Structure 1
Amino acid sequence: MDTKKLYVVALMIAAISGGYYYLGGKGKKLEVDSSRSMTYSAEQINLTQTDEKGLISLKARADRLEQDMQKNSARLTNLNADTFQDSKPDGSFFAKVVNSYDNNSKVVMSNQVLATRFLDSGEKMTFKTSELTGYPKTRDLQTDKQITVESPQAKFLSQGMKANFNNGQYEFFNIRGTYER
């Protein structure tokens, strides 16, 4: 057999076996989406986030993070977060457990939740509850749980709340408390 024929036969065998391995093993190949079903975790998280102008918009610390890529969800333990508006502190949050959904479009804080809103006067308003749901993009907060609110003028209990940190609008339900002027 001459070498030219030997090369052609070898090339045909290589092409056939390559095609067989490619097409025959296609069903057994690892799918790209399978990596999305992985859960990642990290300890001692420190995060600083900036806005489109490059100004600090968020600083956060957490003891532990578990992230599920398939469900686009995450769970944080012992979250301490500070939010900023035009690089000035405007709020802080603490919760023992935080679950986020849909790539952080909905965040549910639970277990000893403390939210603080820094007012323009330099004073602060605090909210204590067992569960608080936040929507970071719209800066809305809400709960149907009992919430204790303390401000410079008042201290009261409410069975639920809706708040918007952008415009400072708060809605409380079934209020019990005292108001001072």
Structure 2
Amino acid sequence: MDTKVLYITAVIVAAISGGYYYYSGKGKKLEGSSAQSMTYSAKNINLLQTDEKGMLYVKATVDELNQDMKQKTSSLQNLNASMFTDNVEDATFYAKQAHGYNDNEKIVLSGDVVATKQGEMGKMVFRTDALTGYPKTRKLETSEQVTVQTPNADFVSQGLEADLNEGQYDFKNIRGKYAPN
């Protein structure tokens, strides 16, 4: 038998099999059920995300990511992220570990957490062991001890609630020093 005839026969059989598989619906069923139970893993990630206007919103690097599609959770190692407003960096976050829940509506940072917020008076730097963030609402909270450094003051707080949109911070049991300019 000629090689050309074998090749054409193989293509026809593959096309018929693929068409039957596709049109019988088995392909879609398999794709849907397998995607829900998948766990993804990636290393050395660089992320750029824009908002609905096309402006830069988040820039991040992560050493390792594990994501469970069924549980809607993610785990990140060595997260280094920046958030932007009108294409200008206004907040940064670093943590050795980060865990995202419910498709990253809630993110828990842990291990040498450093968060920096750029304000009118300069940078405000927060250091703590754990920090919970809500990216969509741009709110932060922790009940852990927080060390805060600003251009005018250094202090320690036993907990924090912050609204990055409004620039409002609620510190608990503050101890520190204040030296106005």
State the match for 1:139 in structure 2: 138
User: C-alpha separation between the residues in 1 aligned to 2:30 and 2:53?
Assistant: 41
| Structure 1: distance between partners of 2:64 and 2:32 | 27
CA distance in 2 between partners of 1:33 and 1:72 (Å): 15
Structure 2 match to 1:127: 126
Question: How far, CA to CA, are the matches of 2:33 and 2:171 in structure 1?
Answer: 44
Alignment partners' CA distance in 1, 2:79 and 2:51: 21
Aligned pair 1:65/2:59, yes or no?
Answer: no
**How many residues are paired up?**
154
Q: How does 1:9-158 map to 2 (within 5 A)?
A: 32-121=32-121, 123-158=122-157
Instruction: Determine helix, strand or coil for the equivalent of 1:35.
Output: helix
Larger radius of gyration: 1
Gaps of 5+ in 1: 1-21
Shift of 1:45: 0.4
Q: TM-score w.r.t. structure 1 length?
A: 0.81
Q: 1:35: Cα distance to partner?
A: 3.0
Cα distance change on mapping 1:52 and 1:35 into 2, 3 Å: closer
Using the TM superposition, give the Cα deviation of residue 76 of structure 1 relative to its aligned residue in structure 2, in angstroms: 0.6
Name the residue aligned to 2:19.
none
Superimposed CA distance per residue, residues 79-137 of structure 1 (whole angstroms, 9 cap, x where no aligned partner): 0001100101101000000000001100000000000001134x200000000000001
**Helix, strand or coil at the partner of 2:136:** coil
> What SS is found at the alignment partner of 1:54?
coil
Helix, strand or coil: the match of 1:174? coil
Name the CA distance, whole Å, in 2 between partners of 1:65 and 1:82.
Answer: 17
Where 2:114 maps in the other structure, the secondary structure is strand
Q: In structure 2, how many angstroms separate the alpha carbons of the residues matched to 1:46 and 1:35?
A: 23
Listed one character per residue, the Cα deviations across residues 23-69 of structure 1 (whole Å, up to 9, x for unaligned) are: xxx9xx85833431221100000000001111101100000000000
Alignment identity in percent? 52
Deviations 1:122-161 (A, max 9, x none): x200000000000001100000000100001110000000
User: Please, which runs of 5 or more residues in structure 2 have no aligned partner?
Assistant: 1-23
Report the counterpart of residue 21 of structure 2 in structure 1: none
Which residue of structure 2 aligns with residue 172 of structure 1? Answer: 171
Amino acid at match of 1:151: T
2-structure distance, mates of 1:82, 1:33: 35
